[in-house]
Each structure stands twice: as structure tokens, then as C-alpha cells.
Amino acid sequence: MNRSKKVLLFLIFHLSFSFFLRSESGHQLWLRPVDAHSVTVELGGRPGATQRLAADVLSHSWQGDSKATIKLRLIKDRSLKPDGFRLHTGEIQATSETGLLYGAYEYIRRQRMGKRLDGFLSNPAYQHRILNHWDNLNGTIERGYAGHSIFWRREAQPTVTESDRALWREYAAANASIGINGTVLNNVNASPEMLSLAYLQKTKAIAEALRPFGVRVYLSINYASPMRLSGLKTADPLDPKVQAWWRDKIAEIYALIPDFGGFLVKANSEGQPGPMDYGRTHVEGANMLADAIKPFNGLIMWRAFVYDPAGGSDRATQAYDEFMPFDGKFRDNVIIQVKNGPVDFQPREPFSPLFGAMKQTSVMPEFQITQEYLGFSFQLVYLAPMWTECLQSDTYQMGVGSTVARCTDGQLYPQTHTAIAGVANIGLDDNWCGHPFAQANWYAFGRLAWDHALSGEVIAEEWIQQTFTAERSFVDPVKTMMMASREAAVNYMMPLGLHHLFAWGHHYGPEPWCNVAGARADWLPSYYHRASEEGIGFDRTVTGSNAVKQYQEPLRSRFASIESCPDELLLWFHHVPWQHRMQSGETLWNELCIRYDRGVQEVRSFQKVWDRMESFVDSDRFKEVQSRLRRQARDAQWWKDACLLYFQTYSNLPIPTYIERPVQDLEEMKQIKFDWTHHN
């Protein structure tokens, strides 16, 4: 057969294959049904609901020998943590039914990926692996880009339907498949009504749906709830009446939900009430709640996302300054929840200096799965490389190898509790996450929460094969695209350590010129970029805010020197002259132009990659991703043109002739107004 006929037959086959691909909404996530082989599952002990779920997972997805037998065994084994498991050919061992369920999902995953089974032992890195939903009781979601809440809706009284329960079970199965064992059901900017009996009754129903899958529920609380719900005149944590109110409320919750996980608290942050309203400290506020919930083995997760209401010192230093004096003073069931960076989920930040510095206090990382600052659900940005960058960063707090991961997972410090949180990107959209590829970030968070040594590349390959196909002609180019996507977004948005250049209010498009009358200085881009004719960037060295002092040596000196500071963080730590010579040999201005242009070109290359994948994907998902990549390419150009043309008014330097020119004028850029309410 000659070459032309072979090519023709290849094209006919793939076009026919594409034509007959079943349309998919993406609702089944990475748990898409497969043609399962027959398998017999032998249950161990006195099987409960969770062990029976493990048997169902194996029965519906078995890819091994037909008519095989696999045993589920509950054993005593000190090498296994409560959620851990050991796999053998034909057997899953665990010390708990939840461990058997996790083992069943891993068994099937390893079958599909062609990985070894015999003797594979797996324990989770963190005890508590939690999603934070920012869902409001009226059904809206703060920073949610995939429709309304799966838990709450606008209604006079909270109700529960069979459709609700079915959806919650699907949600729980997805979480169990990646080892997530907790969920905070409501926004950190919490309504006091969350603790009313009507909403607690619905929380009970949610907990009942999630429980067999090993997922515990938590609630965010409003610190002023005793005043708002019961008419107390104060919420002072040292007031005996307030203490009694919380003890009674907590007892009421545990009577309804015996395995309730605890509270997430945002206090004295962005206008939220807290103990400082009464002259008390974070320690006094957190410990009061911790004492009340201690008899029920509950957790208090106290967020460290605070900054000076008066907008005084460098915002990047304020959480460290506020919490470090309290190290060692919190109860052992309080865990301080710290965002990955010191400002606010920016496309790139250095790790928060609180990691490792608080040596006598339990600390948990908080990542954002929903892409508040990374293009919402419109843009393909795979976040595993961002999170591994943080987790594997060396704090040097206990010498070389004191990574953020090891400082928070109990390896270096004797934490009573270890935990990690991800702000969820889940809503009522058919595909749960808005963008089909945003599902990968939910998946990646769970996998890293279980095993932070996994690489983003390994996780991407797992997700692709389970969500689309195992064909190498699809997996390899799509994986390469995913792995490049976060750096591409940094390049076309805020390269070289620039941060917070977003438009007012919605955090989507570029607006480095933003200047809102009466706004706090640190809510405006100019506070962060500080562009002038002399240069650009935030001086956080000893001549500026001295934020570098919060890092341990040798990082302190490395960040403090303009010569040794990594280019990726240069403008985070330094105000740099436009003609400064970069490590690449280019001037700062030229390098800035190159990076912005590189980001645009990378996104355009993603379009080309995806267009070649049409024969491997059902038409609905293919067209949806294709459409969103087109938008992302336009948005990347918008970012590049807006930022370069604006900063050029300060640098007064030409854009290098070897990069593509801006396609719009600065004044045109300033007229673009993105209204998220019309897209939500």
C-alpha cells in the first residue's frame, strides 16, 4: 500500500472515530465509566456502607483479568495511617473502611495507568485534606465561576430534594477518588444564619450524603453570631455569656452531626468581625472556640489572611507581623490557615514567610483552586506547577530541606493536626468547574494533598487519561500544554514579580492605571508596581519595606540582592531601573516586553495543539475548549497591550523590533470594561 493510501485510511479512521464519539458534558469528571471486566469482591469483617462503596468502585471499573477475585481486608498495621492502604494483586489492606475505599480508587487508577500493584503502600501526607467552598446561603458563590452553589439556593427556608442528595453523592465520590476528606460548606465571609437551626438541619442532610465517602463537613462562622442570632450585646471571647453561647451552639451541632469537623474562621479581616473588635487578640478569639469544641475533637482553622485596616505597612508583611508574636500560644486544636503567598493568590508570589517560622503552632497551607486571579473559568491554567513550586520551596527554617511541605505535614514540627485547604472551583455547571480543564485543578489539589511529592506532570497524565483518552498522540501534547500553561499566564499577565495589576472589583482584566477615589492604597495596582521614570517594582529590601527580613538565610540575602534575586521575583522584591541588565543579558524593559510577548505566543500555540486533537474528543468538549482558548488568546493580547503601553509611558523606551507589536492603543485599552455580572 502506498503512502498516500495509508494517510487516507488513517484520516478516514480518525474522522469516523471522532464522528461516533459520544457527546459528553464533562459531568462525570475523571470518573467516566469504562467497559468493566467481571470481578468478585470479598468483603472483610462486618462491612459497612463505606466498604460496600469500595466494592462498587472495583465492580464498576475493574480492568484486570475477567472473573478475578479481590479481597478487602481490615488489618492492624502500624505502618498504615487511618486513611492509608496497601495494595497487592487481588487484595487491598487498610486499617479502616475509608482506607479500603481510597485503596479501591487507587487500585483502579493504577490499573488504568499500567502501574505496579504488589506491595504498594500509601499514606496521606496531611490528616485533613479539605475543600473550602465560598458559597453564600442565597446560592451565589464568591469568586465562583461555574454557576451557583451545589449546597445552597435562594429560598425562604432551606430544603433538601432527592436530586440534591444524588448530586452530593456524586460530589463526594469525586472527592473520595482523590483522597479529599473534608469540605467547608459556606463562604469565609460567613452569614450568621449559617448557624441557625434551619441551616444546621440542611447541613446534617449534606453530612449524611457525604459520610459514607469519608468526607466530613465543616462550617465557616461569623464571629458576631452570638449577637446576630441571640441578641447578646457583645461577641467578646472573654465574656462568660458568649463562651456559654458557643458551648451550647457547638453541642447542638454535634447532636445533629456527630462527626462534624469544626469551624473555619475569617476574623478581623476585610471588615469581618473578630476578637480585636473587643480589644482581644487572635489567640484569645481562637482559643475560646477551641476550648468549646475540644470535647468533640473538633478543629478551629483560623485564617491568617489579615492586613492593617488603616493600610499602613507593606501588606505583604502584615500577616507575619500579626501572627508571629503568638507562636506557641494557640491551643493544639487550632490550626493557622495560611495562603501560599504573602499577598493574595497572585499568579506568582514567594511562599508566605509564616511557613516554617511558626514552629510551635500548627500551620496549614491554603491554595486557591478557583482561578480568581488566573482568568476565571475562561482560561486554561493548570495549577499543579504553582502549588508544587510553593510546597517544595525551601524555607531553611530547620536547615536545608525545610520545605513548605515538610514544615506543615508534621515531619519537622510536632503538630497535633496537619491539614491543607483548597478554595473550591465547583458549581452547578454541568461540568462542575466551568472550563473542562479547570477540573484538573480540583483533581491535582486532591492528589497533592495526599502526596505532595507527586509531580505536576504525573498528575496531569493521570487526569488526561481518565478524563479523555490514553492515546499517546493525545496525552503527550496535551500534557505539555498543561504544564506550560501557568508560566504562560504569568508571562502575559504579570511577569518578573509584578503583581496585583487587576482591574477594580473583579480581578479579571488588566488595569495598571486604576485609580479609584477613596480606595485603600493597597487595593490599587500602583501600590504594587510603583512605576516611575526611574524604574518599576516594589522595594522590599532594607531600603524599602524590608519584607526580606521575614525570610530565613540564605533566602534573606538572596532576595535582598538585585543581582542574586531570581528574575521571576525581581519586581516583587526590588524597584529596578528600566535599563538594569537582567540575567538573560537583556535590559529590564526589553525583558519585560519579551515575557509579555512570549505569553501571547504560548497561548496561541495552545490553540494549535488543541485543534489537532479534534479526532480524540467528543464534539461538545472539543468545541468548548476551543472557544475558551480563543478567548484566552484575545485576553493575553489585551494584557500585553495594556501593560506594555502603560508602562512605556514611564520607561519612554521603544518596544523591541523583534517582538510582535501591540495591536491596540492605550486609550482603547482604558475604555475596556469587563462586567462579570453579565458572565456569571
Q: Of 535, 541, 543, 635, which Cα lies nearest the Cα of 592? A: 535
Catalytic residue among 252, 270, 332, 611: 270
Active-site residue identified among 344, 429, 511, 591? 344
* Position 67 confidence tier, pLDDT thresholds 50, 70, 90: confident
Told to judge if 372 belongs to the known catalytic residues of this protein, a careful annotator would answer yes
**In terms of Cα–Cα distance, which of 165, 204, 180 is closest to 101?**
180
- Confidence at residue 18, expressed as pLDDT on a 0 to 100 scale: 44
Taking domain 128-455, whether its CATH number is 3.20.20.80 is answered by: yes
pLDDT score at 435 = 98
Write down the residue that cell numbers 516594589 correspond to.
538
Residue 677: what pLDDT? Answer: 59
Q: What is the pLDDT of residue 517?
A: 87
Q: Nearest 5°: phi and psi at 232? A: -65, 150
Question: Where, residue-wise, is CATH 3.90.1330.10 in the chain?
Answer: 490-538+575-678
Share of the chain above pLDDT 90, in %: 90
Q: Which helix (H) or strand (E) holds 128?
A: strand 128-132
For the ranges 200-209, 445-454, 515-524, the lowest mean pLDDT is seen at 515-524
Spatial distance between the Cα atoms of 570 and 550, rounded to a whole number of angstroms: 17
For residues 394-404, give the mean pLDDT.
98
Higher pLDDT, 535 or 7: 535
Rg (CA), the chain: 26
Q: What is the pLDDT of residue 8?
A: 43
Mean of the per-residue pLDDT values for the chain? 95
Instruction: Pick the closest to residue 610 from 592, 632, 589 (CA basis).
Output: 632
Mean pLDDT of 566-589: 97
Give per-residue pLDDT as tens, 371-398.
999 999 999 999 999 999 999 999 999 9
- Assess whether the previous peptide bond of 662 is cis (omega < 30° from 0): no
Q: Is 572 helix (H, G, I), strand (E, B) or coil?
A: helix
Q: In this structure, what C-alpha cell is assigned to residue 81?
A: 495511617
Overall average pLDDT of the 233-241 stretch: 98
When pLDDT is averaged across residues 84-105 and rounded to a whole number, the result is 97
Q: Are 449 and 128 in contact (CB under 8 A)?
A: no
DSSP 378: G
Question: Is residue 344 annotated as part of the catalytic site, yes or no?
Answer: yes
- Residues of each domain in the chain carrying CATH 3.20.20.80: 128-455
* Residues carrying CATH 3.30.379, the chain: 24-122
Per-residue burial over 440-473, b = 16 or more CB atoms within 10 Å of its CB, e = otherwise: bbbbbbbbbbbbbebebeebbbbbbbbbbbeeee
Q: Per-residue confidence at 311, pLDDT binned at 50, 70, 90?
A: low
Q: Are 217 and 207 in contact (CB under 8 A)?
A: yes
CB 649, CB 667: distance < 8 Å: no
pLDDT (tens digit, 9 = 90+) per residue, 149-167?
A: 999 999 999 999 999 999 9
- What's 24-122's CATH class? alpha beta
- What pLDDT does 680 receive? 46
Q: How confident is the model at residue 13 (pLDDT cuts 50, 70, 90)?
A: very low
Q: Where are the alpha helices (DSSP H) in 48-161?
A: 49-61, 97-113
What percent of the chain lies above the pLDDT cut of 70?
96
**270 has catalytic annotation:** yes
Q: Is the pLDDT of residue 619 over 90?
A: yes
Q: How far apart are CA 449 and CA 445, in angstroms?
A: 6
Q: Which of 365, 211, 214 is nearest to 303 (CA)?
A: 365
| Greatest Cα pair distance in the chain | 89
Residue range 235-258: mean pLDDT, rounded: 98
Q: By CB neighbour count within 10 A (0-12 exposed, 13-18 middle, 19+ buried), where does 2 fall?
A: exposed
CATH superfamily of 490-538+575-678: Alpha-glucuronidase, C-terminal domain (3.90.1330.10)
Whole-number pLDDT of residue 22: 77
pLDDT digits (tens, 9 = 90+) for 634-661: 999 999 999 999 999 999 999 999 999 9
Separation CA 390–CA 656 (nearest Å): 33
Please state the separation of Cα 675 from the chain's center in Å: 24
What residue type is assigned to position 582 of the chain? Answer: M
Can you give the pLDDT at residue 7?
40
Catalytic residue of the set 106, 372, 487, 511: 372
679: pLDDT confidence band, cut at 50, 70 and 90? low
DSSP letter for 115, please.
Answer: -
| pLDDT of the residue at 66 | 87
CA atoms within 13 A on the CB side of 216: 18
